[in-house]
Amino acid sequence: MIARGAGPLGGNPFGVLILVLLLFYFLTGGLHSPIQNAGRDPVGFIGFIVAIVLGITVHEFMHAYTAHRMGDDTARQMGRLSLDPRRHLDLFGSLLIVLVGFGYGKPVPVSEGRLRSPLAFSLVALAGPLTNVALALVAALPLRFGAAGVVGGDYERILFLVVLYNCLLAVFNLVPVPPLDGSRVVYGLLPPRQAYAWRTYEQYGPFILLAMIFFLPYLRIDVLGPVVIGPARGLAALLLGQSF
């Protein structure tokens, strides 16, 4: 899973706790590490890397582009209006993705006061996940209409992983829990008083994410399955025109 947002381990008071939990689950086998499967399934690992690099890059680029079109040039001035993956991949967040399957990219800075309207804040937040859906759709077209078979099975598998992981990235980031994009979509749609109250909820976001990813599964309570994985697989199946 890939979280777009403020970098849960960088500049966050809960960062050390998250890091300890990630390492604990990695060492005890609680998380399936992509790099552990690289030797057994090199094509799958390559597909995972391609999907994640593309997914994070276009996701963050579209946040920057939409903010620029909505009147905020902060991201452009900081060099984020770019399709260069180096502008958007966080070194430590990327390392975590490879090691434990959960990490983050660099958040695009947005100056709310420069945007043309409160609704623009929601559109900037929504642009990233929608772009991941668009990327998944583009990758799904040759699979759905049979063109991938001309190249070969490995090519088909990489395209399939691009579809699946970008659907996961889109759905996960639409969950309305800070610092995910879904919480910002909600914030931009609320009246000023309710928006202020929603902002006070942000401090609890890391705890809620920790519970969803670590504590509730430990108690055999599956939240990610029905909220993220199930809808993402359903979206991927819709784009591919087949169930899997």
What DSSP string runs through 18-56? HHHHHHHHHHTT-S--GGGGTTT-HHHHHHHHHHHHHHH
Of 119, 104, 70, 83, which Cα lies nearest the Cα of 173? 104
Q: Select which of 60, 112, 156, 202 is catalytic.
A: 60
Integer-rounded Cα radius of gyration of the chain: 18
Decide: residue 235, CB within 10 A, 0-12 exposed, 13-18 middle, 19+ buried. Answer: buried
The separation between the first and the last C-alpha atoms of the chain, rounded to the nearest angstrom, is: 19
Q: Is 202 a catalytic residue?
A: no
Contact of 137 with 102, CB cutoff 8 Å:
no
Alpha-helical runs (H) found in the chain: 15-27, 42-69, 74-77, 91-100, 118-144, 153-173, 181-189, 192-200, 205-210, 216-218, 224, 230-240
Catalytic machinery residues? 60
